[in-house]
């Protein structure tokens, strides 16, 4: 299994906690953040292997905007965007995200998607 870190960025604590539990139960190393800006500061220095990010980042920030900033620093980084609004799919893909998943999603489908980017 990969020794790369998976970052989960979501403003909803329940989603963050659930994904952390599912990923860690399958031996993935996880770090979670409430805000995308917090992720930006660590993205360059870590062994970050993939990002799972929600759309709503609070304070008028959107995950797909954070995605653009991240990819300027780490163009190879796989980013998976999540949203309850299927209309956000185009925004995520236009921002450079590797994949988009509509909410509600199946956690184990997301886990397998993340694993495919880490292998």
- To the question of pTM greater than 0.85 for the whole model, the response is yes
Q: Determine how many CB atoms are found less than 10 A away from the CB of residue 116.
A: 12
Q: Indicate the DSSP class of residue 60.
A: T
pLDDT at 45: 67
Q: Delineate the domains of the chain, giving CATH numbers in brackets.
A: 5-118 (3.40.50.2300)
The edge-to-edge listing of strands for the beta sheet with 99-102 is: 29-33, 5-9, 48-54, 79-83, 99-102
What tens digit of pLDDT does each residue of 77-99 get? 999 999 999 899 999 999 999 99
Chain segment 25-84, per-residue pLDDT in tens? 999 999 998 888 888 887 776 789 999 999 987 677 899 999 999 999 999 999 999 999
Q: For residue 38, what pLDDT is reported?
A: 84
pLDDT in tens, 8-22: 999 899 999 999 999
- With left for phi above 0 and alpha for psi between -120 and 50, is residue 96 left, alpha or beta? left
80: helix, coil or strand?
strand
């Amino acid at each position: 299994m990969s020794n790369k870190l998976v970052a989960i960025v979501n403003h909803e604590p329940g989603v963050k906690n659930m994904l952390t539990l599912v990923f860690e139960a399958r031996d993935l190393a996880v770090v979670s953040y409430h805000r995308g800006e917090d992720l930006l500061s660590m993205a360059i220095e870590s062994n970050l292997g993939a990002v799972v990010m929600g759309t709503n980042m609070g304070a008028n920030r959107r995950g797909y905007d954070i995605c653009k900033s991240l990819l300027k620093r780490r163009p190879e980084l796989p980013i998976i965007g999540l949203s309850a609004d299927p209309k956000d799919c185009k925004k995520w893909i236009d921002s450079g995200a590797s994949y988009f998943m509509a909410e509600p999603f199946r956690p184990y489908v997301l886990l397998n998607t993340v694993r495919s980017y880490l292998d």
